[in-house]
Amino acid sequence: MNSIGVLTSGGDAPGMNAAVRAVVRKALFHGIKVYGIERGYAGLINNEIKEMSLGSVGDIIQRGGTILKTARSLEFKTYEGRLRAFQNLKNHGIEGLVVIGGDGSFQGALKLYEEFGVKVVGIPATIDNDIYGTDYSIGFDTTVNTVVDAINKIRDTAFSHERTFIVEVMGRNAGFIALEAGIAGGAESIIIPEIPYSIEEICQKLIKSHQRGKLHSIIIIAEGAGSGIKLGEVIKEKTGFETRVTILGHIQRGGSPSAFDRILASRMGAMAVDALREGISQGMMVAFEKGEYVLKPLETAFSGKKQIDLEYYRLADILSI
């Protein structure tokens, strides 16, 4: 293999730059030319392709976001759009493609492989950590730390004013961010889409806490489980406690990646290049499973729904008493 391409697609995640850096430098080390494709699949269709050098990825490992930028592309969902993308790969002599992103990005990569035989390797990068087949995705650890830092600050105010705070976090249809950050931040209740919850039980828990002298509480709700604003209104109505709502929003996406995410991204990027070099790239993805970096078919990402550890959730409930 003489040349490969790399793109970032879907929502940005801290650590994407570290992955791009690893792909570029590992490939160049082995004498392989690397092309960076800007704005994901939209850029691939529009021929926004440039050759990368060692210097082009210098001083980016600590930066959030993605230097290649990212965009969503409706045109790529059509066969005609994908054909244009393939022709641009062909015109640049790109023989393999590394796709850094979430399940939507992986679906696009799989289409390129199935329809045109493009050698592709996916690197999971999404703050939601909802890709089936890998224990961790790039960006998740940083996001959890960002949320915990916000919880720490909010708790200071909650204590000072003796209030109940609802903190709404991202995660799309999954509760991994809420659960991890809720445990680490000592939340009194954690509401996630995977587990049915009773508003009556939550209110009773708050009332009991007040009765024993704890006059402030933090409740974490994942965006996929409902609206933090509506939850706050109901709690205030049922308990009479002063309640405030904080929606963390896109602050969870940005920021310098954690050491864990930088290492995860670097290892995954290097493995993706090795897979292309060694011809193990018939629609593959890099995964982190039980402490090991492994290669799996891209179809794995769509073969099931990633599950919440119920024992972990029960532990969160026990510790919040």
**Active-site residues: which are they?**
128
267 marked as binding residue: no
Query: In angstroms, how far is the first alpha carbon of the chain from the final one?
Result: 58
156 marked as binding residue: no
Query: How crowded is residue 249: how many other Cβ atoms within 10 Å of its Cβ?
Result: 11
Those residues whose C-beta lies under 8 Å from the C-beta of residue 90, and which sit 6 or more positions away, are none
Residue 223 contacts residue 192 (beta carbons within 8 Å): no
63 marked as binding residue: no
126 marked as binding residue: yes
| Alpha helix segments (H runs only) across the chain | 16-29, 40-45, 79-91, 103-116, 140-161, 176-184, 199-211, 228-239, 259-277, 310-319
24 marked as binding residue: yes
22 marked as binding residue: yes
Beta bridge partners of 231: none
Residue with tokens 């244009």: 84
Those residues whose C-beta lies under 8 Å from the C-beta of residue 145, and which sit 6 or more positions away, are 258
314 marked as binding residue: no
94 marked as binding residue: no
175 marked as binding residue: no
Q: In what order do the strands lie in the sheet with 3-8?
A: 49-51, 33-37, 3-8, 96-101, 119-124, 282-289, 292-297
Radius of gyration of the chain (CA): 22
262 marked as binding residue: no
> CA 259 to CA 207: how far, in whole Å?
40
304 marked as binding residue: no
186 marked as binding residue: yes
239 marked as binding residue: no
Query: How crowded is residue 47: how many other Cβ atoms within 10 Å of its Cβ?
Result: 14
171 marked as binding residue: yes
Residue numbers belonging to the annotated binding site for ATP = 11, 72-73, 102-105
**Residue positions forming the annotated binding site for ADP:** 21-25, 155, 186-188, 212, 214-216
